[in-house]
Amino acid sequence: MKSFREDLQQQLQERKQQSLLRQRRTLFSPQGTEIILDGNHVTSFCSNDYLGLAGHPDVLQAYHEGLDAFGAGSGASHLVSGHMAPHHALEQELAEFTGRSRALVFSSGFMANLGVITTLLEKSDAVFEDRLNHASLLDGGLFSGAAFRRFPHLDYAALDTMLGKSSAPRKLVVSDGVFSMDGDTASIPDLIEVTSKNDALLMIDDAHGFGVMGGEGGGLVGQALEDGTVINEENLQILVGTFGKAFGVSGAFVAGSAELIETLIQFCRPYIYTTAMSPAQAEAIRCSLNIVRKDRWRREYLSQLVYRFRTHCENLGLEVLPSETPIQAVVISENEKTLQASQALLEKGLYVSAIRPPTVPTGTARLRVTFSAVHTEAQLDKLLQGMNSVAAIVHGAVS
Ligand SMILES: *Cc1c(COP(=O)(O)O)cnc(C)c1O
């Protein structure tokens, strides 16, 4: 019989043969646009720090002051003695920011999603998810034990049909706002129409939209509200955002009705049985929220970077998925070529991640380029140059 370790070795070997083995690279610098990666200085186009707040002096200062005022750790879970003034203030500011009755802070988006879905659904219920939803949403649906259905990406007619056939007592439709690996967006008005018609609940996880979309950074939902869509706690019951992307820190929140939030406080096990995030971190996030709301120029500048990048790639005949967000996916298809392209960029001092299955569907391996409001024009120029080499690899001019 094979030993446990031999078993694992074989599994890892198979991964490697499919060019799917993941590699962690170590950063020896702060997160930013110029980083030290495994000892090399490179320009990074792969963090989710879209607004450049991870290194913002005001955010750092708020963190320092939070440490001085409240110490390093929260010391307990929220329901014991870990719910501190910074968490409470952050919740209130998030409720106001999202225009919802209440908000609840979680230590991570993954836990928020698992927690919300498993708390709200029973075995007799049904959950409907966009095929390209984030892993935490899919896992939440699976772990809930409810009937689990996936609808084709952004295909709300198919969703409508699926919902129409379901007789589950509670039906929950779940979608990313901005899709993390493609950069495209859900249609909030369409989702509201379909869920309202079929008496289903709607949950939007806008981890990549908050801070980046909408005039005040209110994300895809904030933008839809500005466009005049009627959105409230009756037709979009559950809104999730995270602090690890545009906010430049980490953690997450759920916003919704007072009843929703109170239900989570009482019954959501991943909220109850975990240590509250450090109070200093909550202070840093409060500072980020403030910058997110007031620094419109960061969003405007991001759009300019994206526009220049897309135009250049289109001229090179590269396939860039439709996206107005800082997430730009250059689809190369084969895993091997995608790695080659990423390697070619690295040799030019550009760090762009190669995203492969199972993170994305088989045959859609891609370079995932992400922009930050602190990228300079010169850094963009360097990337555009690098894309010339990518185009050569894709078009087979280089073996
Ligand atoms: C990143 C992400 C999460 C996970 O959030 P973390 O705070 O990093 O755990 C959840 N949903 C989506 C859509 C994400 O992109």
Grade residue 2 by pLDDT with cuts at 50, 70 and 90. confident
pLDDT score, position 85: 98
pLDDT of residue 1: 75
How confident is the model over 34-87, as pLDDT tens digits? 999 998 999 999 999 999 999 999 999 999 999 999 999 999 999 999 999 999
Q: Which two tokens stand for residue 371?
A: 């922009």
Measured distance CA(216)–CA(32) in Å, rounded: 23
Cβ of 109 less than 6 Å from ligand 1 = yes
Mutate to test the pocket of ligand 1, among 46, 106, 110, 243 (most ligand atoms within 8 A of CB): 110
- Kind of pairing, strands 327-333 and 365-370? antiparallel
Reply yes or no: is the peptide bond before residue 358 cis, omega within 30 of 0.
Answer: yes
In the prediction, which pLDDT does 50 show?
A: 98
265-296 in b/e form (b: 16+ CB < 10 A) is eeebebbbebebbbbbbbbbbbbbbebbeebe
| Gap from CA of 98 to ligand 1 centroid (Å) | 18
- Name which residue sits closest to atom 14 of ligand 1, judged by CA: 207
Helices (H), 198-268: 219-226, 258-267
Q: Is 48 in the pocket of ligand 1 (CB under 6 A)?
A: no
Beta strands (DSSP E) in 98-249 are 102-106, 126-130, 147-151, 171-176, 201-205, 238-242
Q: Is the CB of 244 under 6 A from ligand 1?
A: yes
Mean pLDDT score of the chain: 96
Q: How far apart are CA 15 and CA 126, in angstroms?
A: 34
Which amino acid is located at 48 in the chain? N
Q: For ligand 1, atom 6, which residue shows the shortest CA distance?
A: 109
Q: Which domains does the chain have, with CATH numbers?
A: 19-51+296-394 (3.90.1150.10), 57-294 (3.40.640.10)
What Å distances lie between residue 362 and 138, 201, 209, CA to CA? Answer: 18, 31, 26
pLDDT at 399 over 60: no
Give the closest residue to 201 by CA, choosing from 247, 248, 263, 152: 263
Please state the rounded mean pLDDT for residues 218-243. 98
Residue 162 beta carbon below 6 angstroms from any ligand 1 atom: no
Which is the closest atom of ligand 1 to the Cα of 106? 7
Does 325 contact ligand 1 (Cβ within 6 A)?
Answer: no
**Can you give the pLDDT at residue 398?**
57
pLDDT in tens, 321-351: 999 999 999 999 999 999 999 999 999 999 9
Closest Cα to atom 10, ligand 1: which residue? 109
Q: According to the model, what pLDDT value does residue 73 have?
A: 97
Tell me the mean pLDDT in the region 194-202: 98
Question: Ligand 1 centre from 245 Cα, in Å?
Answer: 8
Per-residue pLDDT tens for 270-327? 999 999 999 999 999 999 999 999 999 999 999 999 999 999 999 999 999 999 999 9
Q: What distances in angstroms separate CA 269 from CA 77, 170, 212, 364, 395, one per listed residue?
A: 11, 20, 31, 36, 51
Residue 210: the pLDDT is: 98
Q: Give percent of the chain with pLDDT exceeding 70.
A: 99
